[in-house]
């Protein structure tokens, strides 16, 4: 089933390169995905984490609201605009790079990503109606990530971050192992990344 809209109305796709280094493998994958979606007639915005200037430390938690820097405001506007989200990032220490996690921490705050409801056990998701795909590069073989580590980071994304804020139909594609891969294998990974679009 295609991730993108099959209606006359094209999808509004936000592609985020979540690697702090723009010229790494994830950057090439994000650009390939964006190019393929445009080729299919979709409306696409591509954001590189490296281009965003913000404090990734949510130092007050939810006790005090930190004002969004201009780049965070723009990213929040992109999330509001999109109906499809693709995040491409490397797996570092079983999770996302700190700057990417900080981006999610800072933007998906109460009042934007979700809303507490007095008297209710569960908050209301505020980004419902959107779908997400995640492309993850790793040095660890995929079977090991799934069966030995139990897909820990994917569970967090699906249940406690994106799913918590209302994103549905979240699917993940691993590309691994990257370390030691020959140039032709890396080039194939870039080509194959667009397969996440369905």
Mind listing the pLDDT tens digit for each residue in 65-120? 899 999 999 999 999 999 999 999 999 999 999 999 999 999 999 999 999 999 99
d(CA 94, CA 80): 28
Q: What is the pLDDT of residue 64?
A: 87
Q: Report the mean per-residue pLDDT for the chain.
A: 95
The predicted pLDDT at position 6 comes to 74
Residue 196 banded pLDDT, cuts 50, 70, 90: very high
pLDDT digits (tens, 9 = 90+) for 109-153: 999 999 999 999 999 999 999 999 999 999 998 888 888 888 889
pLDDT above 70: residue 1: no
All domains of the chain in start order, with CATH: 12-197 (3.40.50.360)
pLDDT at 5 over 90: no
Output the CA torsion sign for 140, 96, 168, 158.
positive
One DSSP character per residue, the chain reads: --SS--SSSPPEEEEEE--SSTTSHHHHHHHHHHHHHHHTT-EEEEEEGGG-------TTTTSSPPPPPHHHHHHHHHHHH-SEEEEEEE-BTTB--HHHHHHHHHHS-BTTTEE--TT-SSPEESSTT-EEEEEEE-SS-HHHHHHTSTTHHHHIIIIIITTTTT-EEEEEEEE---TT--HHHHHHHHHHHGGGG-
């Amino acid at each position: 089933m295609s991730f993108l809209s099959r209606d006359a109305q094209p999808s509004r796709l936000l592609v985020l390169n979540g690697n702090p280094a723009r010229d790494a493998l994830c950057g090439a994958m994000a650009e390939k995905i964006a190019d393929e979606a445009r080729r299919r007639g979709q409306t696409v915005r591509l954001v590189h984490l490296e281009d965003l200037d913000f404090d990734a430390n949510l130092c007050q938690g939810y006790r005090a609201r930190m004002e969004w820097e201009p780049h965070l405001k723009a990213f929040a506007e992109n999330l509001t605009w999109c109906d499809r989200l693709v995040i491409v990032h490397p797996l570092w220490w079983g999770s996302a790079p700190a700057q990417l996690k900080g981006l999610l921490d800072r933007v998906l705050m109460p009042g934007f990503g979700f809303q507490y409801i007095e008297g209710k056990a569960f908050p209301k998701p505020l980004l419902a109606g959107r779908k997400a795909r995640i492309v993850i590069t790793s040095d660890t073989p995929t079977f090991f990530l799934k069966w030995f580590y139990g897909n820990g980071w994917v569970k967090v994304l699906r249940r406690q971050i994106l799913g918590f804020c209302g994103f549905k139909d979240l699917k993940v594609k691993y590309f691994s192992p990257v370390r030691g891969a020959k140039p032709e294998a890396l080039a194939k990974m870039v080509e194959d990344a667009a397969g996440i679009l369905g």
